[in-house]
Amino acid sequence: MTSGTRYVVHRALILLLTCGLSACALFQPRDPLTISVIGIAPLPAQELEMRMAVKIRVQNPNETVIDYNGLALNLEVNGQPLASGVSDQHGRIGRYDEQVLVVPVSITAFAMLRQAYGLSRLQSLQGMPYVLRGKLAGGALGTLRFTDSGTFDLPKDGSTAW
């Protein structure tokens, strides 16, 4: 190999190494989104299924903006699948910002029967566990998945929980 060829190869390797290191800086670790279920409201039913609007608060604890162009949710109650829904809404959640999103979900008759059977074995509905799994689609960073879990704490005075 001639000295001119070595010089070109050496410079090319330095350029590739520099580009590789700068690309790594673009993929800084991101904190997970903070998702909270803040409300559930009934929607008009369709045939043998119930429809509900699940309201979630999405908090972005990162220094970069999150652009999204779709949302999907799955709600599990008492360890059993209950509802699922999708929305093609799109938007942007600013850096260190939050947004409230509403997603319509469907509850099939089979899911209602499964829940009714599970509830018949409980002593009380107070503190019933739920898990919400979902994803925000799109954006430069791809799909962001999230999970929220907790318990439904029913009011003692008989008023509506949501």
Each residue's pLDDT tens digit, 142-151: 788 888 888 8
Contact 32, 48 (CB under 8 A): no
pLDDT at residue 102 tops 80: yes
pLDDT at residue 141 tops 90: no
- 71-77 and 97-108 beta bridge pairing: unpaired
CA distance 70 to 50: 22
> What tens digit of pLDDT does each residue of 55-97 get?
999 999 999 898 999 999 999 988 888 899 999 999 999 999 9
- Nearest CA-CA partner of 108 in 42, 49, 53: 49
> What tens digit of pLDDT does each residue of 9-30 get?
667 767 776 666 555 445 557 7
Q: Which pLDDT does position 139 carry in this prediction?
A: 63
Averaged pLDDT score across all residues of the chain = 80
Burial class (CB in 10 A: 0-12, 13-18, 19+), 82: buried
Contact 137, 70 (CB under 8 A): yes
Q: Which pLDDT does position 44 carry in this prediction?
A: 93
Mention every residue, 6+ apart, whose C-beta is less than 8 A from residue 70: 86, 87, 88, 89, 90, 136, 137, 138
Cα–Cα distance list, 55 to 25, 96, 122 (Å): 35, 20, 27
pLDDT at residue 105 tops 80: yes
The whole-model pTM stands at 0.69
Contact 66, 93 (CB under 8 A): yes
Contact 52, 107 (CB under 8 A): yes
